[in-house]
Chain A
């Protein structure tokens, strides 16, 4: 375990710990919400361990609490989790073969992908590129952090839920969007990712009220199609060059 920890790049270690903490905080909010929606503690924990996908679980307990049928809640949460297919693809090169690939797949989520697999943005040039072993260690350690922190926070929230019925009073409902947005921020500085991020955000905001619950982020992927079409006239240079420089006209 100690050698696994030292394999995580030094500049990422604090972020990994903080993500664990933030995920536990969101877990508290989820535990409180689920308790308010008549879920028993054991059900909250089963959901947390088995699904291990924060936003989908919040959506699930929220819909059930609002009186929706379990099947509608299931469908909406699965739609929201469809983005894991893309995350899984991004993490695929990091996962070793064999049982660790099967077990590691369960740890694919917003936070682990943002830390280990997302483009890292403008890192100081003197740092060497991260090796596969370093990225796997980052993925595994943050994945374990999420897998432990999430149910742990949920347990605290479920206990607390009897006492403090409103996580909103503490702004706990803002932790998840703040965390995900802040994790994406380093990569967003680069020109083409900035354009995609702004476009995806705009699409998600416009369509959320009118599409089935869970679909909006996937609709945001249309931003990529727009950008891919926009870059076509510029020539077929699909090499690493525009990873740094961004592409001309992407912001149009």
Chain B
């Protein structure tokens, strides 16, 4: 368990470092001569990351396919959000459909 706690502390330090490094780098990028391009890239990178994290956590458990229930629920949530449903409704719909799908026997 000692090893695990060392890993926990290192994960905390490492994670803070990634954030702080980004903040430091961003200062120079967003004010330089190519600021407009940097802003375009950053805006799109943020969206790409959010969507990629959402989709891979929706579909996979680690490397394996995580069953149909969760992707189904998340697809409903995203459809609701696309149709401009309030955020709370979309998220609850995602959890609710997933739970119901599992109740109905979908893994």
Contact = CB atoms under 8 A, between A and B. Distances in A.
Interface of A: 14-15, 18-19, 21-22, 25, 43, 46-47, 50-53, 55-56, 60, 62-64, 66, 69-71, 73-74, 77-78, 81-93, 95, 101-102, 104-106, 108, 110, 113-114, 117-119, 168-185, 187-188, 192-193, 196-197, 199-201, 203-205, 208-210, 213, 216-221, 223-224, 227-228, 238-240, 242-243
A56 B50 contact: no
Contacts of A90: 22, 26, 42-43, 45-46
Contacts of B3: 69-71
Contacts of A203: 52
Contact of B49 (A51, A217, A238): A217
Interface size class of B (residues with CB under 8 A): 35 or more
Nearest to B101: A171
Interface in B77-91: 77-78, 80-82, 86-88, 90-91
B98 A51 contact: no
Given A60-B11, A85-B22, A108-B23, A221 B55 contact: no
A62 B62 contact: yes
B97 A86 contact: no
B90 to A, nearest CB: 4
B52 A15 contact: no
Decide if the interface of chain B is mainly helix, strand, loop or mixed. helix
Contact of B91 (A22, A77, A92, A105): A22
B15 A173 contact: no
Contact of A217 (B7, B34, B52, B70): B52
A200 B51 contact: yes
Contacts of A86: 22, 42, 45-46, 49
Contacts of A47: 8, 11-12
Interface of B: 3-12, 14-16, 18-27, 29-30, 34, 36-37, 40-65, 69-70, 73-74, 77-78, 80-82, 86-88, 90-91, 93-100, 102
A117 B94 CA distance: 25
Interface centre among A14, A43, A51 (most CB of B within 10 A): A51
A70 B74 contact: no
A91 B26 CA distance: 8
5 contacts: A78-B18, A119-B43, A174-B70, A179-B91, A192-B44
Given A89-B23, A89-B42, A216-B52, A173 B47 contact: no
Contacts of A180: 50-51, 53-54, 57
Contacts of A210: 63
B22 A87 contact: yes
A200 B53 CA distance: 10
Contacts of B56: 204-205, 208, 216-217
Contacts of B96: 171
Given A87-B19, A89-B23, A108-B23, A181 B44 contact: no
Given A47-B11, A105-B16, A177-B77, 6 more contacts: A90-B22, A105-B19, A108-B19, A178-B78, A182-B87, A239-B36
A28 B3 CA distance: 25
B40 to A, nearest CB: 6
Contacts of B23: 88-89, 91-92, 95, 101, 104-105, 108
